[in-house]
Amino acid sequence: MSESIDTHELDVLVIGAGGAGLSAAISAAERDVSVGVVCKSLLGKAHTVMAEGGIAAALGNVAPADDWKSHFLDTMKGGWGLNDPRMAEIHAKESPERVRTLQEWGALFDRTDDGKISQRPFGGHRYDRLAHVGDRTGLEMIRTLQDKTVAEGIDVYQECTTTHLLLDGDQVAGALGVWRDDGSPILFRSKAVILATGGLGQCYRITSNSWEYTADGHAMALRAGAALVDMAFVQFHPTGMVWPKSVQGTLVTEGVRGEGGILLNSEDERFMFDYVPDAYEGSVAPTVEEADRWVAGDRDARPPPELLTRDVVARAILSEVSAGRGSPHGGVFLDIANQRSTEYIQEKLPAMVHQFRELAEIDITEDPMEVFPTCHYMMGGIRVDPETQETAVPGLYASGEVAGGLHGANRLGGNSLSDLLVFGNRAGHAAGDRAEGMDTFPPIDDEDVTNKLNSLEAPFEREDGTDPYALHAELQTVMEEYVGIMRDDDRLTTGIERLEDLAERAANTATDGSRAYNPGWEKCFAVRHLVEAGLAIAHAARERTESRGAHTRIDYPEPDEELERVEFAISLVGGEIDIAREAVPAPREELREMLQADTGEEETQ
């Protein structure tokens, strides 16, 4: 059977052409192996292109005191200590080198007056740390990585959706998918596969994520035998657009607040000063005057509370709106117009000026924006080995947003782009090493391929199947109502029941028409992945009987010390979800001492 399919042999197959996938492919190609990258849309369209604010790396160009230790500590603090400490260490140590390499490959960063890569402040980072290109950093990153990928002669399979991983026993043997342009199947035989498929924002209705982010990597990994960790932690970015409805959820970069934007309620109050959490008291809570000094460039002052971590700001906005102090379209106001000159805003935030002018007919150099939290990022993901990014499935690697561990309970802005570069690079090297060490391709099981192809074709044959669009809309409503920002046991239990019902219906979807560019057909596989991811989120959230980082339980409003170093790992056992309560790896001695000293300092300040 597999012989009649369009078949490609690639030592290393990378699924996903965002920052993580392209970094991984370039690094794998440094070994003596053949490498190919598959992506659902066109090369250059991945999510990474939308990243605005910047790449976090302790280059120390603007704040010479910055170093990997400070970046490590900020990442751990932002993640409420749940981060895998080794991943946080590697990330902090290797980010500067990866940014410099990107520059060597041609990335043109904004500059300081003395010609170094400029760095801007962002929430939760104690120093100005984000290397950036205006508010179009992701575009420059993808342009550079894409040029390098093409220059290295790496094969790219565009508009090609992978749907299944193929196994030989318990090791990976390749992947199966369909060409989007004619719907014909494609089979990859590979010695190593790297999943770099990005996030799962399409689980929620209000999201900054595009149509491509349907948890494909999470679902494929789970079915292949890998585990998902930290799935309770979905990041709702505090500032998504609320109006017009057609663009609800579109991101308003944290760069606006980094550049001095302030949040106001309908009573013109700068409400964030009322929401500084106890845990931060003394270290972050400044006076308005002090915050103003910080905005004016005095880095000895403390930053404004608008730059508290995203979980804190998102909850504060939600509380203001719930208390009836919202803006006309149900958000709050974000004002930069009265804080910075028109020229400054146009220079530093050109994409935001354009976005609001084109989408909302608002001139942000004159008027405030209306904003409300939007589902933005998945902290959890596939469990990987910190050194190699290998999953529990031999030969299967994961990097970028689809992988878990680095960010713990909450990701700091800018730490995703650096994550992609650092761990994409590591995954590429490890996968390349594995493939180099293998003489032959693992065998493919023809019967398995036939069964998987039949399951792909099934939606065309069902007469009374479920409409995948209606199912997707229902899923988004269920996730928003029962597994949203504010959670409790009743809601989560109802949510799980509803999701289990959706899962049954998702296995029975139907479509019609041709196989060429048929979004209804694609939706049939995507919605299954999304429901599976939704179930993983809901189960992990129900088990986590505390509030920590991005996970807020109304019935358990405080963090629970017992859960401080606990993660819930989700896997499939006999097709059913299994949840294991496990310890987060302990930090090595030097890191532990650094963490203790950092916390101690805060208590005495």
Residues that bind ligand FAD (CB under 6 A): 15-21, 38-41, 46-48, 50-54, 137-138, 161-162, 196-198, 208-209, 212, 216, 251, 377, 400-402, 413-417, 420
- Choose between 420 and 527: whose C-beta lies nearer to ligand FAD: 420
Which of 535, 529, 565, 560 lies closest to 545, judged by CA?
Answer: 560
Beta carbon of residue 396, minimum distance to ligand FAD (angstroms, whole number) = 14
Which are the contacts of 246, defined by CB distance < 8 A and separation ≥ 6? Answer: none
DSSP codes of every residue in 535-599 = HHHHHHHHH--S-BTTBEETTB-S--GGGTTEEEEEEEETTEEEEEEEEPPPPPHHHHHHHHHHH
Minimum Å gap between C-beta 402 and ligand FAD is 6
Is 299 a catalytic site residue? Answer: no
* Inter-residue contact 525 to 163 (CB < 8 Å): yes
Q: Give 593-604 as a 3 state SS string.
A: HHHHHHHHHHHH
**Closer CB to ligand FAD, 147 or 290, in the complex:** 147
Burial class (CB in 10 A: 0-12, 13-18, 19+), 366: exposed
The pair of structure tokens assigned to 417 is: 């782009």
3-state class of 440 per DSSP?
coil
Cα distance between residue 510 and residue 595, in whole Å: 53
Residue whose pair of structure tokens reads 């057609």 in the numeric block: 246
Strand ranges in 196-297 using DSSP code E only, listed in sequence order:
228-229, 234-241, 262-264
CA 217-140-161 angle, 5° bins: 25
Query: Residues 164, 175: contact at Cβ < 8 Å?
Result: yes
Side chain identity at 226, as an amino acid letter? Answer: A
**Residue 260 or residue 404: which is nearer to ligand FAD going by CB?**
404
- Least separation in angstroms between residue 36's CB and ligand FAD is 11
Least Cβ distance, residue 570 to ligand FAD (angstroms): 19
DSSP string for residues in 315-357: HHHHHHHHTT---TTSSEEEE-TTTS-HHHHHHH-HHHHHHHH
Task: Choose between 20 and 382: whose C-beta lies nearer to ligand FAD.
Answer: 20
Give Cα separations from 291 to 303, 305, 306, 339, 588 (angstroms).
Answer: 5, 8, 10, 12, 36
User: Which one, 53 or 286, has the nearer CB to ligand FAD?
Assistant: 53
* Cβ at position 247, least distance to ligand FAD in Å: 12
Q: Annotated catalytic residue: which of 126, 205, 218, 257? A: 257
What is d(CA 458, CA 380) in angstroms, rounded to the nearest whole number?
A: 31
For residues 53 and 123, which CB has a smaller minimum distance to ligand FAD in the complex? 53
Give the C-alpha distances (Å, rounded to integers) separating 243 from 77, 110, 120, 138: 33, 31, 28, 24
Distance of CA 79 to the CA centre of its chain: 14
Least distance CB 276 / ligand FAD (angstroms): 24
User: Which of 180, 237, 407, 411 is labelled catalytic?
Assistant: 237
CB of 305 to ligand FAD, least distance (A): 21
How many C-beta neighbours within 10 Å does residue 442 have?
19
Alpha-carbon gap, residue 251 to 268, rounded angstroms = 23
Please tell me what DSSP assigns to residue 262: E
Question: CA 87 to CA 73: how far, in whole Å?
Answer: 12
CB of 554 to ligand FAD, least distance (A): 27
CB of 553 to ligand FAD, least distance (A): 25
The verdict on whether 529 is a catalytic residue reads: no
Shortest separation between residue 214's beta carbon and ligand FAD, angstroms: 7
For the four alpha carbons of 388, 394, 399 and 401, in that order, the dihedral sign comes to negative
Instruction: Give the nearer residue to ligand FAD in terms of CB position, either 180 or 491.
Output: 180
Name which of 97 and 560 has its Cβ closer to ligand FAD.
97
Question: Which one, 73 or 186, has the nearer CB to ligand FAD?
Answer: 186
Nearer of residues 137 and 511 to ligand FAD, judged by Cβ: 137
State the catalytic residues.
237, 257
